[in-house]
């Protein structure tokens, strides 16, 4: 598994569906959905930043929950 690609390309809506299918508590799924709702990113090149844009896929790098999120998927 290429973890770099996994972190950057995880389909979040699919993740919530899989978690529900696997029987995770709804409260936990809703908590994670809220964590990733309306996430924004910008790209830094040198000292300059791009305009902010909404991110719809991928997980937050550096978050302790991110490695667990990729365990549902076969790449």
**Chain mean position to CA 62:** 11
Q: Is 35 helix (H, G, I), strand (E, B) or coil?
A: helix
Whether the pLDDT of residue 2 is over 70: the answer is: no
Domain count, the chain: 1
Least confident of 4-8, 27-31, 33-37: 4-8
What range defines the domain where residue 8 resides? 3-72
**Chain mean position to CA 47:** 26
pTM, entire model: 0.64
């Amino acid at each position: 598994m290429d973890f770099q690609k996994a972190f950057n390309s995880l389909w979040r809506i699919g993740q919530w569906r899989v978690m529900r299918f696997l029987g995770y508590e709804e409260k936990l799924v809703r908590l994670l959905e809220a964590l990733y709702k309306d996430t924004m990113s910008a790209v830094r090149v040198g000292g300059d930043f791009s305009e902010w844009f909404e991110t719809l896929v991928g997980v937050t790098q550096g978050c302790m929950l991110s490695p667990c999120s990729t365990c549902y998927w076969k790449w």
